[in-house]
Structure 1
Amino acid sequence: MSHANTYLHQAAPAIASVIEAGRLAAARGWLPATSGNLSARVDARHVVITRSGRDKGALTPDDLAVVALDQVLPGDLSAEAPLHLARYRADPAIGAILHAHQPLAALAGRRHQDAGVLLLQGWELQKAFAGETTHDSTLRVPVFANAQDTVTLAQQVEAHLAAEPGRLAPGYLLAGHGAYVWGRNGKEAFRHLEALDALLQLQQAWEHTT
């Protein structure tokens, strides 16, 4: 087997993971109009990530690119690719990152943008996040202003996450935009995305009744 074929074989599980996450998230209406971007780690230096403008609910391997974490990015990737790569470089345990445009995430981000954080406390579903064993913990979901300069935004996000006090949920919100979540693999990342969406529904209802 040639080196190129060996590498494609190595990337196959990551490619399949992204395709499956896209299918599931699109079916829930979280990736409208080709929005969002999805990625998975191949090895310590490489990830697969969706190309720009692709229907995330009908991805094929041709809709993904394998990129090195330290390379100049191809021009057909989403402008938000730097946010993915910065997370992978910051945390070697991350195996997949999903960015979706759930309406509740966009709304919650705008609602909590001035505070810079959304606090989750008392919800049983918090235990869907890896490492959480009780509803009594207070999880912080950082909230950032949306920006078109995603290289600078990625630097700001990583600096903030590194300094953030307290227990962090495995994700953050971009105000008026959507959510980023991550996990050790694609299945865990999708569970985190699904849990965050449900928790945002609960949180919104709670805020409107208190």
Structure 2
Amino acid sequence: MADLKISRELSLAQAAQGVMAMAHFAGARHWVPATSGNFSVRMDEKLAALTATGADKAHLTEGEVIAAEIVGAKHPRASAEAPLHLARYASEPAIGAIAHIHSMPATLLSRRHEKAGVFRLEGWELLKAFSGVTTHETLLEVPIVPNDQDTDRLATLVEARMGEGGPHAPGYLIAGHGLYVWGATAKEVLRHMEAFDFLLTAALHEEDAR
């Protein structure tokens, strides 16, 4: 994925449609409680459309989506977690959209497995919902990083961790916080979000039944 490059260019209005689609999808499933979560779509090599700080993601409007430089000065309306989105775009040119959600299974498992630093998904049929996966006979790692209020520092840690281990699922967990998930398009991220929720819920139930 890192060797590919997004060739399309989107206007802010076009990218905002993808941002709103992801935000509303997550909101309808209660994955972004109390204005939490963030969503973004790459516009081109230099810009990404991001949810503005303080926006209610479940009822996000186009006016609450901003255009931010992927590498450059911080936008005055950018949320504190914008660096985590922008660092992913800078590191992987194939990423076209990113979602950050606070689903219950993701949050619980991120705490439970924080010391291990990784959560492994293996053998589930729905792994094939992730782009590039063609068989359930697959093991994917989901890195877990400790939470940090300094999101620039946290973004640096995440990118270092994404270069370790693998193969990785298209996402990572922040301990006690939630899940970041990405894809080539907003539509792909919708599928990846739903797949992650099912897989992490199934894994949580399996652990609790032991």
TM-score, with length taken from structure 2:
0.93
Post-superposition Cα deviations, 1:35-65, rounded to whole Å, max 9, x if no partner, equal: 0010000011110000111111211121011
1:199 is matched with 199
2:36 is matched with 35
Post-superposition Cα deviations, 1:164-209, rounded to whole Å, max 9, x if no partner, equal: 2231000000111110000000010111111101101110111123
2:190 is matched with 190
1:174 is matched with 174
Identity of aligned residues (%): 49
Q: Does residue 142 of structure 2 align to residue 141 of structure 1? A: yes
Q: After TM superposition, list the pairs within 5 Å mapping 1:1-210 onto structure 2.
A: 10-162=11-163, 164-210=164-210
Query: SS at the partner of 2:149?
Result: coil
Query: SS at the partner of 1:133?
Result: coil
Mapped to 2, the partners of 1:25 and 1:174 lie a distance apart of 18
Instruction: Give the length in aligned residue pairs.
Output: 202
Post-superposition Cα deviations, 1:134-183, rounded to whole Å, max 9, x if no partner, equal: 11111000011111011001001101101x22310000001111100000
2:5 is matched with none
Instruction: Confirm or deny: 8 A CA contact 2:66 2:77 kept in the other structure.
Output: no
Mapped to 2, the partners of 1:184 and 1:203 lie a distance apart of 26
4+ residue segments displaced more than 3 Å: none
Gaps of 5+ in 2: 1-9
TM-score, with length taken from structure 1:
0.93
Amino acid paired to 1:205: H
Larger radius of gyration, structure 1 or 2? 1
Gaps of 5+ in 1: 1-8
Q: Deviation at 1:14?
A: 0.9
Query: SS at the partner of 2:11?
Result: helix
Mapped to 2, the partners of 1:54 and 1:200 lie a distance apart of 27
Mapped to 1, the partners of 2:154 and 2:145 lie a distance apart of 9
1:5 is matched with none
Amino acid paired to 1:38: F
Mapped to 1, the partners of 2:131 and 2:150 lie a distance apart of 31
Mapped to 1, the partners of 2:106 and 2:138 lie a distance apart of 21
Query: SS at the partner of 1:119?
Result: strand
